[in-house]
Structure 1
Amino acid sequence: MKKLALFSLLLAGFFTGSAQLERPKLVVGIVVDQMRWDYLYRYYDLYSDGGFKRMLSEGYSCGNTFINYLPSYTAVGHTSIFTGSVPAIHGIAGNSWIITKTGKSTYCTDDSTVQTVGAGGDAGKMSPRNLLATTITDELRLATNFQGKVVGVSLKDRASILPAGHNPTGAYWLDDPSGHFITSTYYKNELPGWVSSFNQQQLPEKLMSGQWKTLLPIDEYTQSTKDDAPWEGLLPAAKSPVFPYDLKAAYAKDKESLRETPFGNTLTLKFAEAAVAGEALGQDNVTDFLTINCASTDYSGHLVGPNAIEVEDVYLRLDKDLSEFFTYLDKKVGKGNYLVFLSADHGAAHAQGFMEHSKMPTGFITSLRSGLNKDLQQKFGVENLATSFSNEQVHFNQALTEAHNIDMDALKKETIDYLHLQPEISFVMDAANPGRSGVPEKIKEMIVNGYNKERSGAIKIVYNSGFLDSHYKTGTTHGSWYTYDTHIPLIFMGWKIPHGETNKTLHMTDIAPTIAALLHIQMPSGCIGDPITSITDQINGK
């Protein structure tokens, strides 16, 4: 009996005390801004072995991953990836939104109670206070009693702040006038020494001191249109959209031009390396988390559209930069010690001019507000009831509707009836009453997921495929439910990740619960996604 009791104690000790919970030393979440899923394969033959190809050959690719809400915008995408949730819950209903009660426009990360740290001006008056749910980075901080460090990095404030969560070690973004990475007093009152040292290198000026030539001979860029298409926009100081570009002249004319070149991504990933070294990320037994947004892909895409040589070159150079970054992590943290995932916040439509030239469905969205307001005035006797069409939604002047005792159901019905007659519109839906609409279920669910009663318009509009806002006579944009905007890449690589792929339909909101499952921590508070079990089961030996 004594031997049996001793064996039982030893066995219990084996399961409870002898084995330590296994986690990666570092998680790196990379979000490539405006990266359509097809870019993984469109430029595949020209990629190096160490960037996108390495992720595909070593990692696990989820080939049918989609956004499951509307609108498909930057701030919403980053937030949904890291919360595993949707605007109805996490509250980030757009890059900006109109507050229903007041009619006031609010930028997603604006915070007038904080100050800029690291430069002059208001670019640092930002925080995550508008975010209503926790992130996977928040949950790591909570799970490790705030011992695990979290750092957010991007050229864009929103793409650094929202992924890093409510209480990170730091969040940093680029201030264009100074060329410095900055933060706000929400996080700390002065920049860490490693950030100041990085800023002193003046890398933006150095990166923009020469010419932007194609990485490869230009005749190898066979996946793009000719190097002077009429639907391409211009870099500052350029007379035509043609290589080579004078970067020094562009930067002298407009400091923001760095963002529209591939060298904005180079700067971001070099700063990410500095963050790994400066914060000693992945250097102990407590898991850390680094969030990175590569934003130049978005700025370049908006400028020239997906079919330009400029965009192809941006991706080839990003591939090279990612290869160097992964090599850095291999040496600094150790290959197999870090877990990385790569996805996108949204995709992009083809340029309208390109689509028209290619005989594809396309067109421009006309200004609809004035016509709608005339119709509503005839019906209700009140001017300017519709105040905005932002985020592909109709916002009403609540003060006017209340002052004139206008029935909201009647107002919405008249609006829907009017908009249904407009040729560029496919569907119109009362967002608060989806059951009354004839919208297909998939689109209806996306609208419901994206509808936040305090921050979204009452009526949701779905425009025709290929139709862009008339502002985009050149370049392109995003925001729709169509696959060109919502089909995004998703690849996991590194620590314990099996090699493989799945074509099962997955959603952006499945990323955070998958990371939570791999780390054995709580999912974010508003998470609606599911772990990707084709990954987790293999790791757990099921």
Structure 2
Amino acid sequence: MKNVFLVGVLFFGWVTLQAQQKVKKEPFTKPKLVVGIVVDQMRYDYLVRFWDKYGEDGFKRMINEGYNCKNNHFNYIPTKTAAGHASVYTGTTPKTHGIISNDWYDKVEDRSVYCTEDATVACLGTKTDAGKMSPRRMLASTMTDQLKLATASKGKVIGISLKDRGSILPAGHAADGAYWFQGEDEGHWITSTYYMDKLPKWVERFNASNAAESYKKVWEPLYDLSTYTESIEDDNDFEKTFSGEDRPTFPHDLPKLWEKNGEFNLLKGVPFGNSLTTDFAEAAIEGEDLGKDAITDFLAVSFSATDYVGHRFGVSAKETEDTYLRLDKDLARLLSFLDKKVGKGEYTVFLTADHAAVEVPSYLKSMEIPGGNFHKKEFLDPLNKFLKATFGSDKLVKNFSNEQIFLDQEVIKSLGLSSTEVENAIVTEIKDYKHIAEAYTGTAMRNQEFTQGMASSLQMGYNYKRSGDVLVVLEPGYINSGSKKGTTHGTGYAYDTHTPLVFFGKGINHGETVKRTEIPDIANTICSLLGIAFPNGKSGEPIPEVID
């Protein structure tokens, strides 16, 4: 009887202890530092294609110790850099955050505007106008904004990228700083008075160190070029050259190419630009004392050189392969630095991309795979003739950009027409034009609900005030460019939407999934991990497998 009583007491004590432990468990995780990494123009298959050549401490470490979302996609059109960075960090799409592309035709200002331009601020660190930038055109809050709100601004937020838009949009509206690289004859990291009155001492020291100058050297393959078997021949007709080169082949002699390629701007188009970004990220961690206390800080880093290399050389180039093998080493270096400065297991990282890219269309054609070039003039000339014959004016189209037609509403009114009438006529007319797969009216985007296909992706990218009156979808493999060399991005096809998404570090489960995840899910997953409010325009959902 005593034994039964003793067992009962022990069991009751165990249950009580378990209940107490459950009560004590906090419903959030507090890493000392969150590091958001966006690799510009990274396709998911770059993880797989170059896997055997990656080291153990970069991409492989993140995947082997973290959580890999293998079927991650953008869910809107257009898949452009600014829209991508804004969507990653706002947890929503251009429909809500308003960054519909890198630049767009502004119907109110009657001109093309750039996503981060801001004439009301002054430049810091440059004698040019390249510092007149801010996040003011972004309409929604970011996860970095929400961290500032949740910590009463005690958590620091810093954004870093070679591109202004790659640092400004992720850092959000309330950031402590966003820095981008000014090339030409300067080679400095700069910012604007939106964030501060003068550059911090650590930035001034970094710029004075001439770190950028150290990368003015020959770009040779990291390994024997014959081992780059995942890529096509180095000497081919599908790649663009640097100014001053006869062929797009290794080695690329930066000192000789320097003046003809914008001096320090040249670093943006080679993998050394990513190494310089890593150098500056490490300097920021030390200079800002990121991850030094119990209040979570956030470092948003965008590696932009991959995009410039991709545009010039294409998806299957040996230069692209070399760039990712070098980026793998930069990632390993950054993670090792975080281990030492913040502490193993004390920080959280996610890695994704702002868009992917299509194979060079002329290369696709050489393989008998559909693809080619869409020419704006060949599209607009017959369209304007149709509009002249139908409505009596060939001045109805005011702007064509981002595969969107903007109509001249004043001309439409003067002819006694309605915008909807003209939009419908255009869609009916162009459905049989070469290389047009689909087209939709702005009226339909506003008044109908699309739940699947390209129409849904267009609608997720359609902003009521900023988007066009007719939206066009090109056939798969076609790009809006006259060049037969190099590649681009912007569509809703898988080659542009399928990007990596890897979570790693404190509070992150180990595993992988092939369940579809979407870009707006990232911010909401990180906010859930931290236990802070979602961005105010939230449309994505947390990924439960990543953080339970």
Superposition TM-score, scaled by structure 1 size: 0.94
Residue matched to 2:331: 322
User: Which structure 2 residues correspond to residues 20-419 of structure 1 after superposition, within 5 A?
Assistant: 22-177=29-184, 178-208=186-216, 210-253=217-260, 254-255=262-263, 256-367=265-376, 368-419=379-430
Q: Distance in 1 between matches of 2:116 and 2:26?
A: 42
Q: State the shift of 1:228 in Å.
A: 1.1
Give the letter aligned to residue 285 of structure 2. V
1:465 aligns with 2:473: no
Give the letter aligned to residue 375 of structure 1. F
User: Which structure 2 residues correspond to residues 397-476 of structure 1 after superposition, within 5 A?
Assistant: 397-434=408-445, 441-476=452-487
Q: Distance in 2 between matches of 1:22 and 1:450?
A: 32
Q: Distance in 2 between matches of 1:141 and 1:436?
A: 36
**Is the 1:514–1:532 contact (alpha carbons within 8 Å) kept by the matching residues of 2?**
yes
Q: State the shift of 1:494 in Å.
A: 0.7
**Is the 1:92–1:130 contact (alpha carbons within 8 Å) kept by the matching residues of 2?**
yes
Q: Distance in 2 between matches of 1:323 and 1:249?
A: 31
Q: Distance in 2 between matches of 1:406 and 1:18?
A: 65
Query: Structure 1 residues 14 and 341 mapped into 2: Cα distance closer, same or farther (>3 Å)?
Result: closer
Give the letter aligned to residue 203 of structure 1. A
Q: State the shift of 1:237 in Å.
A: 2.4
Secondary structure (helix, strand or coil) at the match of 1:28 reads strand
Q: State the shift of 1:433 in Å.
A: 0.8
Secondary structure (helix, strand or coil) at the match of 2:472 reads strand
Structure 1: tracts of 5 or more residues without a match: 1-9, 538-542
Give the letter aligned to residue 68 of structure 2. S
Residue matched to 1:3: none
Residue matched to 2:14: none
Secondary structure (helix, strand or coil) at the match of 2:484 reads coil
Superposition TM-score, scaled by structure 2 size: 0.93
Match of residue 535, structure 2, among 524, 535, 538: 524
Query: Structure 1 residues 357 and 378 mapped into 2: Cα distance closer, same or farther (>3 Å)?
Result: same
Q: Distance in 1 between matches of 2:51 and 2:122?
A: 44
Q: Distance in 2 between matches of 1:394 and 1:536?
A: 43
Q: Distance in 1 between matches of 2:439 and 2:239?
A: 31
Q: Distance in 2 between matches of 1:140 and 1:440?
A: 32
Give the letter aligned to residue 69 of structure 1. Y
**Is the 2:507–2:529 contact (alpha carbons within 8 Å) kept by the matching residues of 1?**
no
- How big is each residue's C-alpha offset from its partner over 1:249-303, in whole Å with a ceiling of 9 and x where there is no partner? 2223222221110000001111000010000000001000000000000000000
Aligned length: 527
Secondary structure (helix, strand or coil) at the match of 2:178 reads strand
Q: Distance in 2 between matches of 1:483 and 1:12?
A: 47
Query: Structure 1 residues 439 and 240 mapped into 2: Cα distance closer, same or farther (>3 Å)?
Result: farther
Q: Distance in 1 between matches of 2:324 and 2:505?
A: 22
Secondary structure (helix, strand or coil) at the match of 2:299 reads strand
Q: Distance in 2 between matches of 1:509 and 1:365?
A: 30
Q: State the shift of 1:431 in Å.
A: 3.2
Query: Structure 1 residues 428 and 197 mapped into 2: Cα distance closer, same or farther (>3 Å)?
Result: same
Give the letter aligned to residue 199 of structure 1. N
Give the letter aligned to residue 526 of structure 2. I
Query: Structure 1 residues 269 and 200 mapped into 2: Cα distance closer, same or farther (>3 Å)?
Result: same
- How big is each residue's C-alpha offset from its partner over 1:218-273, in whole Å with a ceiling of 9 and x where there is no partner? 00000111111111001232221111110112223222221110000001111000
Q: State the shift of 1:471 in Å.
A: 2.9
Match of residue 498, structure 1, among 488, 498, 509: 509
Q: Distance in 2 between matches of 1:159 and 1:76?
A: 10
Q: Distance in 1 between matches of 2:259 and 2:244?
A: 9
More deviation, 136-145/355-364: 355-364
Give the letter aligned to residue 190 of structure 1. K
Query: Structure 1 residues 216 and 469 mapped into 2: Cα distance closer, same or farther (>3 Å)?
Result: same
More deviation, 504-513/469-478: 469-478
- How big is each residue's C-alpha offset from its partner over 1:301-329, in whole Å with a ceiling of 9 and x where there is no partner? 00011010000000000001111111000
Q: Distance in 2 between matches of 1:417 and 1:437?
A: 18
- Identity between Structure 1 and Structure 2 (%): 45
Q: Distance in 1 between matches of 2:425 and 2:522?
A: 40
Q: State the shift of 1:383 in Å.
A: 2.6
Q: State the shift of 1:59 in Å.
A: 0.7
**Is the 2:28–2:528 contact (alpha carbons within 8 Å) kept by the matching residues of 1?**
no
**Is the 1:95–1:108 contact (alpha carbons within 8 Å) kept by the matching residues of 2?**
yes
More deviation, 433-442/81-90: 433-442
Secondary structure (helix, strand or coil) at the match of 1:411 reads helix
**Is the 1:429–1:439 contact (alpha carbons within 8 Å) kept by the matching residues of 2?**
no
**Is the 1:261–1:314 contact (alpha carbons within 8 Å) kept by the matching residues of 2?**
yes
More deviation, 100-109/231-240: 100-109
What is the root-mean-square deviation in Å for CA atoms of aligned residues? 2.1
Query: Structure 1 residues 12 and 46 mapped into 2: Cα distance closer, same or farther (>3 Å)?
Result: closer
Q: State the shift of 1:55 in Å.
A: 1.0
Give the letter aligned to residue 518 of structure 1. L
Structure 2: tracts of 5 or more residues without a match: 1-16
**Is the 1:372–1:386 contact (alpha carbons within 8 Å) kept by the matching residues of 2?**
no
Give the letter aligned to residue 297 of structure 2. D
